[in-house]
Chain A
Amino acid sequence: MANKTLIVIGNGMVGHHFLEQFAETPAAADYDIHVFGEEPLIAYDRVHLSEYFGGSTHADLALGTAKDYAAKGLTLHLDEPVTELDRDNRKVLTPKGEYTYDAVVLATGSYPFVPPIDGHDRDHCLVYRTLADLDAIRASAEGRKTGVVVGGGLLGLEAANALKSLGLEAHVVEFAPRLMPVQLDADGGALLKRKIEELGVQVHTEKATTAIVPGEEARLRMNFSDDTHLETDLIVFSAGIRPQDTLARSSGLEIGERGGIVIDDQCTTSDPQVFAIGECALWDNRIFGLVAPGYTMARTLAARLNQDAEAGFRGADMSTKLKLLGVDVGSIGDAHGATPGARNIRFNDEQAGTYGRLVISEDGKKLLGAILVGDNGPYDTLLQYALNGIDLPKNPESLILPVSEGGAPALGPDALPETASICSCHNVSKGDICGAIDAGCTDLGAVKGETKASTGCGGCAALLKSVVDNELEKRGVEVSKDICEHFPYSRQELFHLVKVNGIRTFHSLIKQHGKGHGCDICKPAVASILATCWNEHIMATDHVPLQDTNDTFMANMQKNGTYSIVPRIPGGEITPDKLIVLGEVAKEYNLYTKITGGQRVDLFGATLSELPEIWEKLIAAGFETGHAYGKSVRTVKSCVGSTWCRYGVQDSVGMAIRLEERYKGLRSPHKLKFAVSGCTRECAEAQSKDIGVIATENGWNLYVCGNGGMRPRHADLFATDLSDDELIRTVDRVLMFYVRTADRLQRTSVWLENLEGGLDYLKEVVLDDSLGLGEELEAHMQAIIGTYQCEWKTTVEDPEKRKRFREFVNAPEKKDPVQHWTTERDQRRPLAKADIA
């Protein structure tokens, strides 16, 4: 039975959070709880205040309802400011009466600082904190053109966003040389300024306002110390906050020199019956102007009132991750590198509009702080490094450099300690998540419901998912690797379904094993599986709609909708006559020509309807398709080898041609590149290929799963001194095993890295035939080779298939009109979109 009274003064976000945390604990039963709010509205989300102008109402932003409060037994006094805290008699006074207490919680928050500029109190000089403030701003903006925000910090930019959404021409005036001086450095601030100006908000930095006077063209004029001025219809001050400590001050509680109610680690003020939390509280001479530390104080106090001796507020991480006017901004820990000996890594991509800075400890091992502008992608990972003191990887710059194929090297969930904070809004650690899973949660939704993780700002959603997936997997729970919304299977599972059940069309596969009608993810994947299993012509009617345009039209679409053509030139060996044909065709159709890295010739700029005409000529001259458009074998690059080279020990060109002729047309999860070098000098760069062959005195060394391009990987030595036939047999098995087990769009390099058991396992399967699959793999490859046909030859000979290449079916003679060309270095190329008037 309650016999004591607890009074909470202030019904803002932190005061509300305290009630949420405290109301249902055992100690709360001892108290009658009264809550006093100065505003007429129940606690609402001030972090998303600008959404009020985007159509959100108080009800949308409210954190609770009067009903919730009543249900928890709380007595809510809204629109009833506390005017006096009488500590001698333990009572609070309001205009409506007086209330005695046993304990008081001050959660009075802060008020906006208005600099004492001459004229700051004129009409239409406003602030930005409450919904009432926003109503005043809206009224003032009615029918007006311009608005100025004084202050280029976090709140100032939010306010600018609010003005912009009211349709005003918004300006930001900042005294410091850059925006967000607390969180950002000079380069980060400069980029943020540029990006915000691109969004139509004008930024004026290093401007000190000296006076606000009546304007000539607008209501007000701001005069600056550099003798410039700016006219505006209204001014919103957002130049920082000050703790709302008036009540505490007049009651004689200890106040900091520059304001703020002094509290200890238990949130107790100088009076043991009075507590303070949130922005009004001064801890270790610091005010915390963010909601998360306020929440931590609220939780601390709730625990402390429940006699939890461990509970204590020990400072807070002030890292922030925001979207300001649509621009990502992140700031972590020691963002300015104030720690002695700290080192910096900066990456400033002015072209892409992203900036990243890492502040690293003197020994290079720990992340002390970071700044991100333009892309908050790396934020979650960086925060985990900084908060948990996790050792940095060898190349920490990889954490902020642009994302490469397969995503940034995110911190694996296994690397995080149990104490790692995953959701800072609700203070959920990795340990809490593991606990929830151990207690029976078997999916992301259940974990969210149980722990509340990722239900605050949602910034940790991706991290939470990877932790949950990883933990579930570790416990043997299957995690969705579904290819897309239409099939509850991975690529490998689909492959098995097709193969085992003898399925030959997409339609029957989706009817039997999927739902809906497919999409651009599952259709090409299934097309590739069908081609691998049955090797039917990809232009067969059933298969046409499954393919990407490149596969459908057997050419590579370029940026203006035209195509490029790459005929096969096995091993890079070509006769002069064939070279002349390429030149003649290119000339006739005005094609841009370029030599590729794979020792072929690429012909650019053919329209859809020209493709079959061009191929007719190429086929007549003995060319075949080069499959440059497909997820299939591209080229086998070679050096001239022993036939010409003084150093060559084997006929590398001959072997390259043999390999290319054998595997051409093979469909696979991703493209495949080969090379053959005639000696150990490795002129063909075989070790950067999916299949690399290097000649030895005794035969061939085989290297597998290398990659060039975006994510280079050296190929691994797989077998040595193979004879010609041994080499072919080994490559047959490796390729077929890859085709059967890799995921969609997974290159051999990534496949091997993800293959359980890695290289040794692959050697066992292929060289020792540990699965007894060897013959089957070879037979499958032989079957595919046996059914090879040049797709272009089949197409040009079939009038029905050629119909597909009409640009406009009702106007066969009409060429695509939207093609803007220019000439550069004597060849034709498309004009950039920006250059087209």
Chain B
Amino acid sequence: MTAHSNWEAVCTVDDLVPESGIAVWTEAGPVAVFYLPHHLPALFAISHTDPFSGANVLARGITGDLKGEPVVASPLYKQHFSLRTGICMEDESVRVKSYPVLLDGDRVRLKVPVSQRRFSAA
């Protein structure tokens, strides 16, 4: 833990769905956590909010890879977002936030910058 960010425990390994995403609520708002067992590292976290619709749905998209880049396709309008960087493959000027994520025992922890925290927390 540092002064500027916080490794927040958001769920456990049992909550994850292989090859797919789940949504968690963090101090920075809704975040989608993806578990791709064949990737190294296998965990990815990006914002759950689809920038094109404003709806919280990205965790419910289909995962996969395009030219080797791990991606999720928005379930609404099907744009692909890189799971590593959050950059939209169809329009590189659009980018969702991505978060460092790791396993701490069987707990999944997200690094949420303090500056992004919402004061109207859960």
Residues of B within 8 A of A518 (CB): 64-65
CB pair B73 A519 closer than 8 Å: yes
B84 to chain A, nearest CB (A): 14
A811 at the interface (CB under 8 A from B): yes
Interface residues of A in 774-831 (CB under 8 A from B): 803-804, 806-811, 814, 816-818
Q: Are B62 and A519 in contact (CB under 8 A)?
A: yes
When the two chains form their complex, are residues A544 and B61 in contact, meaning their CB atoms are under 8 A apart?
Answer: no
**Interface positions of B from 33 to 72, Cβ below 8 Å from A:** 36, 38, 49-50, 53-57, 60-68, 70-71
| Pair A809/B15 contact, Cβ less than 8 Å | yes
Instruction: Report the minimal beta-carbon distance from A504 to chain B, rounded to whole angstroms.
Output: 16
Q: Does A485 contact B (CB under 8 A)?
A: yes
The reply to whether B30 and A549 contact each other, CB–CB distance below 8 Å, is no
The answer on a CB contact under 8 Å between A560 and B53 is: yes
Whether the Cβ atoms of A557 and B76 lie closer than 8 Å is yes
Provide the residues of chain B in CB contact with A817, threshold 8 Å: 30, 56
Is the CB–CB distance between B62 and A547 below 8 Å?
Answer: yes
Asked if residues A561 and B55 are in contact (CB atoms below 8 Å), the reply is yes
Q: Is the CB of A519 within 8 A of B20?
A: no
Question: Which listed residue (B38, B54, B63) contacts A818, Cβ 8 A?
Answer: B54
The one of B18, B55, B62, B76 that contacts A520, using a Cβ cutoff of 8 Å: B62
Residues of A within 8 A of B11 (CB): 809-810
Which residue on A lies nearest to B10, using beta carbons?
A: A810
Task: Given A516-B68, A517-B65, decide whether A557 and B19 contact each other with a Cβ distance below 8 A.
Answer: no
- The interface residues of chain B lying within 8 Å CB-to-CB of A808 are 23-25, 30
Does A523 reach chain B (CB closer than 8 Å)?
A: yes
Set A553, A559, A816: member contacting B76, Cβ < 8 A: A559
A517, A545, A557, A836: the one within 8 Å of B17 (CB): A545
A549 to B63, CA, bound (A): 11
Given contacts A809-B23, A811-B122, contact A557 B57 (CB under 8 A): yes
Q: Does A524 contact B (CB under 8 A)?
A: yes
Q: Which residues of B have CB within 8 Å of A553?
A: 60
Partner of A561, one of B57, B63, B71, B80: B57
A624 beta carbon closer than 8 Å to chain B = no
Residue of A nearest to B31 (CB): A808
| A818 and B65 in contact, given A552-B60, A809-B22, A810-B25 (Cβ under 8 angstroms) | no
How far is A806 from B24 in the complex, measured between Cα atoms in Å? 9
For B63, the closest partner residue in chain A by CB is A545
Query: Could you tell me if B75 and A523 are in contact, using CB atoms closer than 8 angstroms?
Result: no
Contacts of B23 in A (CB 8 A): 807-809
What sequence of 0s and 1s flags, for each residue 539-564 of chain A, a beta carbon within 8 Å of any chain B beta carbon? 00100111111101100010111000
Please, how many angstroms separate the alpha-carbon atoms of A546 and B10 in the complex? 25
Cα(A483)–Cα(B62), bound, Å: 16
Contacts of B63 in A (CB 8 A): 517, 545
Contact A560 B65 (CB under 8 A): no
Any B CB within 8 A of the CB of A833: yes
Do residues A519 and B64 form an inter-chain contact, with CB atoms below 8 A? yes
Which residues of A lie under 8 Å from residue B19 when comparing CB positions? 545
Contact A544 B20 (CB under 8 A): yes
Q: What residue in chain B is nearest A524 (Cβ atoms)?
A: B62
Question: Are B54 and A520 touching (Cβ within 8 A)?
Answer: no
Interface centre among A516, A520, A522 (most CB of B within 10 A): A520
In the complex, the number of residue pairs spanning A and B with C-beta atoms less than 8 Å apart equals 103
Query: Quick one: given A485-B67, A810-B24, A816-B56, are A561 and B76 in contact (CB under 8 Å)?
Result: yes
Q: How far is the CB of B63 from chain A (nearest CB, A)?
A: 7
The answer to whether B64 and A523 touch across the interface, beta carbons within 8 angstroms, is: yes
A-side contacts of B17, CB under 8 Å: 544-545, 804
- List the B side residues contacting A486 at CB < 8 Å: 64
**Contact A517 B25, CB 8 Å, known A549-B57, A559-B76:** no
B54 near A545 with CB under 8 A, answer no
Complex contacts, B36 vs chain A, CB 8 Å:
517
Interface residues of B in 72-114 (CB under 8 A from A): 73, 75-76, 78, 80
Asked if B55 and A814 make an inter-chain contact with CB atoms under 8 angstroms apart, the answer reads no
List the A residue with the shortest CB-CB distance to B71. Answer: A519
List the A residue with the shortest CB-CB distance to B14.
Answer: A803
Most chain B Cβ neighbours within 10 Å, of A516, A817, A818, A836: A818
**What residues of B have a CB within 8 angstroms of the CB of A561 in the complex?**
50, 53, 55-57, 76
Closest chain A CB from B65 CB (angstroms): 5
Cβ proximity bits A474-504 to B, threshold 8 Å, 1 near / 0 not: 0000000000011000000000000000000
User: Given the interface contacts A517-B38, A808-B30, A818-B55, does A557 sit within 8 Å of B20 by beta carbon?
Assistant: no
**In the complex, which range does the number of interface residues on chain B fall in?**
35 or more
Chain A contact residues, majority secondary structure: loop
With A548-B75, A810-B11 as known contacts, state yes or no: A517 contacts B64, CB within 8 Å.
Answer: yes
The answer to whether A811 touches B25, judged by C-beta atoms less than 8 angstroms apart, is: yes
Give Cα A590 to B60, complex, Å: 23
A550 to B75, CA, bound (A): 8
Q: How far is the CA of A544 from the CA of B65 in the complex (A)?
A: 17
Which residues does chain B contribute within 8 Å of A552, judged by CB atoms?
Answer: 60
Q: Which residues of B contact A608 (CB under 8 A)?
A: 60
Bound complex: CA A807 to CA B55 (Å):
13
Q: How far is the CA of A811 from the CA of B23 in the complex (A)?
A: 10
Q: A807-B23, A810-B10, A810-B11 are in contact. Are A559 and B55 (CB under 8 A)?
A: yes
The reply to whether B54 and A833 form a contact with Cβ atoms under 8 Å apart is yes
Whether B15 and A557, one on each chain, are in contact in the complex, defined by CB atoms closer than 8 angstroms, is: no
Residues of A within 8 A of B38 (CB): 517
**B18 — which chain A residues lie within 8 A by C-beta?**
541, 545
Nearest residue in A to B9 (C-beta to C-beta)? A810
Contact in complex: A836, B54 (CB < 8 Å): yes
Q: Note all chain B residues with C-beta closer than 8 A to A545.
A: 17-20, 62-63
A519 touches B66 (CB 8 A): yes
Q: Which residues of B contact A485 (CB under 8 A)?
A: 66-67
Nearest chain A CB to B69's CB is how many angstroms away? 10
Chain A residues within 8 Å of B68, by CB? 516
Residue numbers in B under 8 Å from A807 (CB-CB): 23
Contacts of B57 in A (CB 8 A): 549, 557, 561
Bound-state Cα–Cα, A516 to B39, Å: 11
A753-793 interface bits toward B, Cβ cutoff 8 Å, 1 = contact, 0 = none: 00000000000000000000000000000000000000000
- Residues on A with C-beta less than 8 A from B73 are 519-520
Q: A516-B65, A557-B76, A808-B30 are in contact. Are A549 and B60 (CB under 8 A)?
A: yes
Chain B proximity of A774: nearest CB distance (Å): 37
Bound CA–CA A818/B57 (angstroms): 10
Bound-complex Cα distance A546 to B53 (A) = 23
CB-based nearest A residue for B52: A833
What's the nearest-Cβ distance from chain B to residue A745, in Å?
A: 13
Given contacts A561-B56, A818-B49, contact A549 B61 (CB under 8 A): yes
CA distance A517 to B36 in the complex (A): 9
A545 to B54, CA, bound (A): 23
Interchain CA distance A520-B63 in the complex, whole Å: 7
Closest chain A residue to B58 by CB distance?
Answer: A561
- Choose among B55, B57, B62, B63 the residue with the greatest number of A CB atoms under 10 Å from its CB: B62
Q: Shortest Cβ distance from B121 into chain A, in angstroms?
A: 10
Closest chain-A Cβ to B14's Cβ sits at a distance in Å of 9
B65 CB contacts on chain A under 8 angstroms = 516-519
Least CB separation from A608: chain B residue: B60
Closest 4 CB pairs of A and B: A561-B55, A545-B19, A519-B64, A549-B75
21 residue pairs of the A-B complex, CB under 8 angstroms, read A485-B67, A520-B62, A545-B20, A545-B63, A548-B75, A561-B55, A561-B56, A804-B17, A809-B22, A809-B23, A810-B11, A810-B15, A810-B24, A810-B25, A814-B122, A817-B56, A818-B54, A818-B55, A833-B53, A833-B54, A836-B54
Known pairs A519-B71, A545-B62, A809-B24 / 9 extra A-B pairs, C-beta < 8 Å: A516-B68, A517-B65, A520-B73, A545-B17, A557-B75, A559-B76, A561-B55, A809-B11, A836-B54
